[in-house]
Amino acid sequence: MKVNIDPDACMGCGVCGTIIPELFSLGDEGYAIILLDPAPEQYRDLVQRAMDECPEEAISAKD
């Protein structure tokens, strides 16, 4: 699964990293980065949760 973060939309709140710290982290500039690309299938439900809970809707995913 390919996960993307829109850098223009991300405000660096860290919700995604709280949900899946193995996949998301805050980079040096304070915005979310993806640690695993592609994202392992085992994280599919958590990626959906991160997308749902992102206040800026900055996360997207596709197969």
Give 32-54 pLDDT, tens digit per residue: 999 999 999 999 999 999 999 99
Cα–Cα distance for residue pair 4/22, rounded to 1 Å:
15
- CB-side neighbour CA atoms (13 Å) of 17: 15
Domain covering 2-62 in this structure, CATH number:
3.30.70.20
The pLDDT of residue 25 is: 97
CB atoms within 10 A of CB 21: 11
Cα dihedral 33, 38, 43, 45, rounded to 10, equals: 90
pTM: 0.92
Domain ranges, ordered by start, for the chain: 2-62
